[in-house]
Structure 1
């Protein structure tokens, strides 16, 4: 019974709320469990195809200017494009540009980790490794993601995830062994692997930051725009400090690649990907990370002369199989609002 001080009708009102809320949750759950819809499959395939191609375009950017300046140019264009998109969509106050200081701090951290730290090391890694191998290595992003999510967000790690990760690591090791055997004597494969590992750490840190309560309360496009702006500023400072004044090549192909990476590879893909996370949950959306290396390896074979061997083919199969097993074993995180409500009403 409700307390005696409760106004008349409280019980009936609460009963109606308790009856309707689960129905709304059931409706949302049923939608997120129906991935075979055009508004899901379309963005999923588009993001995978674009991100699979960006690895090859990054490789083509190397040599014209120092890698640090290529990263800076990319995210200067990306930040401008994302601000235009945020204003056009009008998310939040000030036409989509307003971000309180808590959001600015979060955007600064995400920009530093994702759009500066991560990409600077990825570009350097492609100096020593083929684009397809770098993409396959980045498929291991789920491992630090799971570990950091376990530490900071309390998300469980399942046995199937550990088994799949072990299979995937074995496949990656076979691919890297093939790369080391095919590398010229002066090649520095180990340095490239080291750079990828550092880049993965930066991306994983950004993913954990994006799962914070502040990020959930912030309009997605506004947060991305400011994160890219902060990242671009850090990139320019870092490039000037390490590579000297900016270099502006005259090659239209180079600037076409910068525009493709900044606008198509960043402004188009990041909102689509986070939209997939909201529709499918982080676990199913992460299947995108399985398809991206496949696209990258095909492009590397066609345009970079990547030579397959039994060792490399077996490694690729194991890597993809391990990623699929690991993803099937992941548990989607509970939405923040529902988790909070459940904590307050555990008997519901």
Structure 2
């Protein structure tokens, strides 16, 4: 698949997982729900590797890096993200998530010694402005209190963990490790960490009994984890963590389109303007500057 197809696949799937996640909340602990998700996802990837006879033997140093991806990207990121949702509205979370691009840019520069790409920073800024336009009505409901401050702090740590996982993933993939094997091991390590954490937490471990929980679990594991993360990791490898992270600015728009049909979301001039700004930012970040923004040639 080319980059555009991979990008679209990530946006379409992750834009729809927001609804699926709502069916996961309240049935058991967030940690256990995510552990079950990665149990199913890693089982699917492992089965694929066995059927296709893909090589699973990798060096120890690669396993250490993959375990780090499992810890930061698949475990801490998602667990903290679920926790943050209990304190702040999804609009604010979407706005904060857009900042991951800036964190990726800094970490890539510091850790991978990659140059800071000006078009990515400019595109991300356009995208951030577009997200603000999309969710302006929701921001009016926000009032600063201790719960909000807690949610913001948790969300920031979650984003930093996700960005750390992104950059480690880029290093693993660009060194030659195949995407499928990397995701298999990283999700397996995450699954073990999450199950251990679930068992160590105080209180009784609740096994969900709701059919909707397991239907949404299947969708999140197979589509949200196996397919979407597979596509995203290929983007990381081919484009870099800074450009690939622009997915987080685009898929909230997909979520709003879905919300229009299922939750009655009403579009306004401002929200449509926000979509246009995000798309312009995406074009800039990908090095495809719209014609009207290009400097006209000098004539004499």
Instruction: Give the TM-score normalised by the residue count of structure 1.
Output: 0.70
The offset of 1:283, in angstroms, is 6.7
Counterparts of residues 17-28 of structure 1 (less than 5 Å) = none
State the structure with more CA Rg.
1
- Report what 1:116 is aligned to: 75
Q: Hey, what does 1:217 align to over in structure 2? A: 176
Q: 1:77 to 1:327 in 2, by over 3 A?
A: same
Look up the match of 1:86: 49
Alignment of 1:79-158 (within 5 A): 79-92=42-55, 96=56, 98-129=57-88, 131=90, 134-135=93-94, 137-158=96-117
**Deviates further, 72-81 or 313-322:** 313-322
Q: Distance in 2 between matches of 1:102 and 1:123?
A: 30
1:208 is the counterpart of 2:171: no
| Pairwise CA distance, 1:106 | 1.1
| Deviation for aligned residue 1:74 | 0.9
Q: TM-score, normalised by structure 2?
A: 0.80
CA contact (8 A) 2:120 2:242 kept: no
Q: Please say if residues 95 and 128 of structure 2, whose CA atoms lie closer than 8 Å, have aligned partners that are also in contact.
A: no
Deviates more, 1:148-157 or 1:320-329: 320-329
Residues 1:297 and 1:277: Cα distance change in structure 2 (over 3 Å)? same
Q: Partner of 1:14 in structure 2? A: none
How far, CA to CA, are the matches of 1:233 and 1:157 in structure 2?
36
Taking the aligned partners of 1:326 and 1:215, their CA distance within structure 2 comes to 21
Compared CA separation, residues 47 and 210, structure 1 to 2 (3 A) = same
Displacement after TM superposition at 1:313 (Å)? 5.0
Cα shift at 1:246:
2.4
1:299 deviates by: 2.2
Contact 1:121 1:195 in 2 (8 A): yes
Q: Distance in 1 between matches of 2:181 and 2:121?
A: 36
Does structure 1 retain, via aligned residues, the 8 Å contact 2:243–2:285?
A: no
Within the candidate set 15, 20, 25, 1:57 is matched to: 20
Structure 2: which 5+ residue stretches go unaligned?
290-300
From the superposition, tell whether residues 291 and 171 of structure 1 become closer, same or farther in structure 2 (CA, over 3 Å). Answer: closer
Whether 1:77 and 2:77 are equivalent positions in the alignment is no
Counterpart of 1:212 in 2: which secondary structure? helix
Q: 2:10 aligns with which of 4, 26, 47?
A: 47
Residues in 2 aligned to 1:216 and 1:192: alpha-carbon distance in whole angstroms? 36
- Cα deviation for residue 294 of structure 1 reads 1.5
Greater relative contact order, per chain length (Cα 8 Å cut-off, separation 6+): 2
Task: Find the aligned partners of 1:286 and 1:72 in 2 and give their Cα distance.
Answer: 24
Provide the aligned length of Structure 1 versus Structure 2. 289
TM-superposed deviation, 1:165: 3.3
My pick for the range that moved more, 109-118 or 308-317, is 308-317
